[in-house]
Amino acid sequence: MATPYVPVPMPIGNSASSFTTNRNQRSSSFGSVSTSSNSSKGQLEDSNTGNFKQTNVQDRMDSTSSVCGSPLIRTKFTGTDSSIEYSARPRDTEEQHPDTVNWEDRPSTPTILGYEVMEERAKFTVYKILVKKTPEESWVVFRRYTDFSRLNDKLKEMFPGFRLALPPKRWFKDNYNADFLEDRQLGLQAFLQNLVAHKDIANCLAVREFLCLDDPPGPFDSLEESRAFCETLEETNYHLQRELLEKQKEVESLKKLLGEKQLHIDALENRMRANNKAHFNSREARSAAAVAAIADIEVAQLAYSVEDD
C-alpha cells in the first residue's frame, strides 16, 4: 500500500482540459511511472550523501553564463507561490538562431505539488508535477528522481556548456526521511525553474517529452493520472464548497444587517407619525379655542347691544 500523499498547498487549475486522443505516439519519458508501471521493477530510489538543502541557483548560473549566455536566475519562494526572474538574452544569440521557437512559446515553470512513497513493488518515491502550458491548459505528470537524473544527463550531452543544479544522490542514509524528501523537492523545483528559464533547453525534445508538452496525458491514461485527476476534482470541490459556505455566511450577515436597518426605519416612521398626530391634535385644539373665543366675543357684543337698546 502507498503511504499518504504529501502535498504542497497550491491552487490548481483545470488539469483535465484539452488533451489529444492519440496516446500511442507519446513516448514514456525516461521510464516515468505515469506511462508505465514497469519502471518500478527491481529499482530502488537513488540516494545521496546527506540532506540536500535548497540549491543556490544564482551561483550556479553565474559560473556558466560566460559559456552559454544563459539568463541570470533568481529563485524566490513566497507562501505557496514561486516566481523566477531572469535577465534579457543577448541580441547576438537571437541573431545566431533566428529559426528558434519564440521565447513566449516556452512553458511556464512547472510546479512540484508533492511526493509519494510507493511500496507496491520495489519501494520508490514519485514526484507529482503540475505543468501549465497556458492559463487554461494544465496537467499532472509523475516523475522519479531517476527521471530527473536521466534528463540532466541528456541535457549535459546536448548543452555541454550549461549545467543545471540537480540535487545530488544520497547513498547511505534513509531516502524516505520526510525532511530529506522536502529538501529534495525544493531542489528539484529549482532545477525545473532553471530548466524553463533557458529558451533552447525549455524547447528541446528531451524536456518536451519529460513534461509531455506535445502530447499531454489524459486523466485516465494511467492509474496514477486517474487518481491525480480525482484528487484535483476533490480539491476543487472542497474549495468550491468552502467558498459557498463563506458566501452563505456573508448572505446571512447581510440579511441580519438588513433586518436591523429595517427595524430602525420602522421606528423612525412610527416616531414621525406620532409627532405628526400630536401636531395635528394641537392645531385642532388651537382652532377650537379660537372658535370658542370668537363665539364668546359675539355673544358679548350682542349682550352689549341689547343693554344699549
Question: How many other CB atoms sit within 10 Å of the CB of residue 118?
Answer: 20
Q: How far apart are CA 66 and CA 122, in angstroms?
A: 43
Q: What is the pLDDT of residue 262?
A: 92
pTM over 0.85: no
**CA-based torsion, 29, 203, 132, 137: positive or negative:** negative
Q: Scanning the structure block, which residue is given the C-alpha cell 541580441?
A: 91
**CA-based torsion, 91, 97, 101, 106: positive or negative:** negative
- Bridge partners (DSSP) listed for residue 142: 128
Domain ranges for the chain = 111-216, 223-290
Cell of 91: 541580441
Is 130 in a helix, a strand, or coil? Answer: strand
- What average pLDDT does the structure give for the chain? 69
pLDDT tens digit string along 166-206?
888 887 877 888 888 899 999 999 999 988 888 888 889 99
Architecture of domain 111-216: 2-Layer Sandwich (3.30)
Q: What is the pLDDT of residue 77?
A: 41
The residue among 7, 237, 239 whose CA lies nearest residue 140 is: 7
Cell of 64: 556558466
Residue of 25 and 235 predicted with greater confidence:
235
Of the chain, the end-to-end C-alpha distance in Å amounts to 131
